[in-house]
Amino acid sequence: MRLVSGRYTNGMEAELIHWLRDNVPRFGKADISIGDDAAVLPVINSRTAITTDTLMDGVHFLATELSLEDIGYKAMAVNVSDLAAMAAEPVAAVVSLTIPRSMQLAEIQQLYEGMFKISRRFQIEIVGGDTNRWAGPLTIAITVFGKERGTSFWTRSDAKAGDIILVTGPLGGSLLRRHFSFLPRVDEAAYLQDNYNVHAATDITDGLARDLANIIEASQCGAVLDCDCIPVSNDARELAKSSGRTPLDHAMNDGEDFELLFTTSAEESKRMLVDPKLDVVVIGRCTDDRQLRQRDGNGIEQVLERGGYQH
């Protein structure tokens, strides 16, 4: 592990390393941090959750449309959102960057400043990484580590027929702004895990319909979504004015909402709905078949085909 390497010697590596050593937010989460062959985390006496996601210029974002700080923020946030989906407490991260040759030191620092925002908010220590320059585009591969808070991590595979399905916030149209400014639902996951018995959970990245399909596939059950109950964001309504799609279609399929999507028993869901510290919405229930269906306001049900979800 070399935090900064690369096949050039214009002094930027040394400057970047020194800047990182001085500026990376630290929370005492590592015994050995930046500067050795590997970072060392202390014994944590719980299981470890690990997740990794790469954001690539031209695929997951356009460097010409987002600020570098927003890109760095998002790259860290999408990974932390995966930990929230497991109810893991984020601890540390490593960051691998491929940097276009034209990028200046100040720009790389902006990218890191975006990551630091998430670092500081959730006390996640960046303990190392790898930085290389090349002729290609910017990519950011982040791996984050979390520890177990309560009795167990949430998985996608623990939904049961009869479970109630909930989400933590409005969906759709994240492309307008939320996809680079959302706050991962770490605190909501922690509160839910401390106070309730959540069965299955994930975060909404590919869209409600697809992510719910992942849960029912992993849990070997089915689900019915109540279209009238799905919280549609103002952004979805805004986008629908020009997209030719309905606001509900946006809410069902846009993705990158990064809200928690989870299931729990009917009794637990009733408690949740009257909890003033929680802001969750019931959107459907799990069934004992293997189908994913949506029900409209007239009670008419329609099967959602996996893969498409175009309505």
Site residues for its own copies per CB under 8 A = 1-2, 7, 9, 31-32, 35-54, 56, 58-60, 82-83, 85-86, 88, 92, 94-96, 98, 127-130, 132-137, 139, 141, 143, 145-146, 153, 155-157, 201-203, 205, 218, 307
Helix (H, G, I), strand (E, B) or coil at 76: helix
Q: Which residue has the tokens 């040759």?
A: 101
113 or 130: CB nearest its own copies: 130
2 or 295: CB nearest its own copies: 2
Q: How far apart are CA 1 and CA 52, in angstroms?
A: 17
80 or 224: CB nearest its own copies: 80
Measured from the CB of residue 139, what is the shortest distance to its own copies in angstroms?
6
Residue 263: partners with Cβ closer than 8 Å, 6 or more residues away: 158, 159, 160, 163, 164, 165, 166, 198, 199, 200, 201, 215, 286
Measured from the CB of residue 228, what is the shortest distance to its own copies in angstroms?
28
Measured from the CB of residue 203, what is the shortest distance to its own copies in angstroms?
6
180 or 258: CB nearest its own copies: 258
Measured from the CB of residue 278, what is the shortest distance to its own copies in angstroms?
21
Measured from the CB of residue 40, what is the shortest distance to its own copies in angstroms?
5
145 or 227: CB nearest its own copies: 145
CA 136 and chain centroid, separation: 26
Measured from the CB of residue 299, what is the shortest distance to its own copies in angstroms?
32
Helix (H, G, I), strand (E, B) or coil at 16: helix
| Cβ–Cβ < 8 Å for 149, 193 | yes
Q: How far apart are CA 301 and CA 278, in angstroms?
A: 30
Measured from the CB of residue 94, what is the shortest distance to its own copies in angstroms?
4
27 or 134: CB nearest its own copies: 134
Whole-number CA gyration radius for the chain: 21
Q: How far apart are CA 47 and CA 42, in angstroms?
A: 13
What are the angstrom distances between the C-alpha of 162 and each of 65, 116, 249, 304?
44, 42, 25, 19
Detail the DSSP E strand segments found in 74-138. Answer: 88-100, 125-134
1 or 229: CB nearest its own copies: 1
Sheet with strand 198-203: strands edge to edge: 198-203, 260-264, 164-167, 281-287, 222-226, 292-295, 301-303
